[in-house]
Amino acid sequence: MKSEKKHKKKKRKILLICLILLAVFIAAVILTPASEEKGETVQKGQSDMPEEKAVNTSSAGGAGAADAAGNGSGTDVYHLPGYINGTEPDGEPIVCGVSLPFQVADTPILIEGIGQYTGPFVEDGTDEPVANVLAAVVKNNSDTDVEYAEIRFLTGDGSEAEFHISALPAGESALVLEQNRRAFQAEDTLTFADKLYARAEEMPLMEDQVSVTAAEGTLTLKNLTDTPLGTVSVRYKNRLSEDCYLGGIAYSCTFENVGAGESREVQTKHFSADNSTVLMVKAIQE
């Protein structure tokens, strides 16, 4: 009897051990990370490397060139992030005494909207947060690129409101912030005063000679030729939406001593592989 009881206890003990081992095995399978389960290995310097992307470049004549000279639809001024247009879609198209759209005389610049902007102030490169700043949606309503322009209005208090525009491709639009961060006031009056305008003779991209890539704040330019290029300037703008740039500002990066087949890097806090568009790549004659 005693031996039989000992045998039963031994069997129960063995069964209990088997159940414990089975439970540990099941738990191990459930808690195993997917990477280990698939046998994946992570090599240092591979997954930790920033992803390098080819940059967006402006197409010849500008992405909106087909709409230039008023032949297509205008910018959707009612759905631009951070911007509130001064009129409602079905309201009278007059803001601060300016009838819209407003064609700036002797230029291809068409003001499509006037209103207020809240977000980073980009025009001076500081990106400081601002609220309710006077802003204008402007379009290059031609098939020629705008190199530089200034538009000045006299305000109701006798001061000036200024809008500066750099490197705006044909047919493209930009949300331009008032240069001095003037606050938008619906009851204000804006009277056109003066303008400066210069068209771009050319905005080359040198796509057969260089490649430009971006990765986490670093812009890389590679010389694809066997000829030294010396100093190369790259100009770009950032998009607010698919059909509008943010700011009149155009950013510039300079790559020096670009030898044959060589690459050069520049650190930039404003370039984004997703939102930036390269407008010009030009070798500077020294």
Buried b (16+ CB within 10 A) or exposed e, 228-241: ebeebebbbbbbbb
> How far is C-alpha 186 from the geometric centre of its chain's CA atoms?
29
Q: Where in the chain is the domain with CATH 2.60.40?
A: 53-58+203-284
Report the C-alpha gap between 260 and 201 in whole angstroms.
27
Other Cβ atoms less than 10 A from the Cβ of 106: the count is 8
Angle at 246 between CA 180 and CA 202, to 5 degrees: 100
Residue the block writes with tokens 């290029």: 229
Give the pLDDT score at 57. Answer: 80
CB 101 within 8 Å of CB 112? yes
Residue 202: predicted pLDDT? 84
HSE at residue 126, side-chain half, CA atoms within 13 A, is 7
Are the C-beta atoms of residues 279 and 237 closer than 8 Å to each other? Answer: yes
Q: Compute the C-alpha angle 199/94/107, nearest 5°.
A: 10
Q: How far apart are CA 152 and CA 163, in angstroms?
A: 7
Write out pLDDT tens, residues 177-211.
999 999 999 999 999 999 999 999 889 999 999 99
Distance CA 161, CA 183 (A): 10
53-58+203-284: CATH topology is Immunoglobulin-like (2.60.40)
Residue linked to tokens 């005063």: 193
Confidence at residue 216, expressed as pLDDT on a 0 to 100 scale: 79
Residues facing 98 on adjacent strands: 95
Q: Which residues of the chain have pLDDT under 50?
A: 2-3, 5-6, 20-21, 23-50, 60-72
Compute CA 192 distance to the chain's CA centroid, rounded to the nearest angstrom: 30
